[in-house]
Amino acid sequence: MVSLSKDRVAILATHGFEESELREPKKALEKAGFQVDIISENQGTITSWTYGHWGKAYNVDQTLGHVTQDNYSALLLPGGVMSADYLRRNKTAIAFVRSFFDNNKPLAAICYGIWLLVDADVLRGLNVTLYNSLIKDTENTGAFWIDKDIVDNERLITSRNAEDLSSFNTKFIEKIYKFNYAEHVT
């Protein structure tokens, strides 16, 4: 088991994640001083999807069976149709996602990453933004779609796609600081 740290952020992904939607937030989080762990079902590597082809492989830092939300201050769900569709069928992955909501921790989803939130059944009554082919999926959960680059709920940040990464990364880092360090700021 990894230890709890305010400075640890989890990224949940598997094969077929959108490379830029993992790579760019990970770099931004690390630059801001966070330790970032890529979480997946199995040890080894997971392969990204980029520009319609298989991309770079990324090392898995921890597996779902060895971590809980107690080990992290926040969770990022990158997009990628294959990754999100596969993970949404994994009960352990869905429970991991839901546990961040249940424990009032910041969570961010880009593009197809929102599918995990749909299956975690945590979107009812929330405003979200997402890739346009997912509008009906989220509306069916009781969420409200807004066509903006970023939608910021109390603990959830959603973004449409990789074109919004700059503002998404900034907002997610701000949210993590707010939830984890605000009580120490004077």
Catalytic residue among 84, 94, 111, 118: 111
User: DSSP character for 161?
Assistant: S
DSSP 59-96: E--EEGGG--GGG-SEEEE---HHHHHHHTT-HHHHHH
Known catalytic residue at 111: yes
Map residue 135 onto helix, strand or coil: helix
Report the candidate in 100, 110, 111, 113 with the shortest Cα–Cα distance to residue 155.
100
Q: Which residue in this structure is represented by tokens 């990754």?
A: 83
Distance CA 31, CA 101 (A): 26
Please report which helix (H) or strand (E) contains residue 31, including its range: helix 19-31
Counted residue by residue, the chain has a size of 186
Q: Annotated catalytic sites, by residue?
A: 111
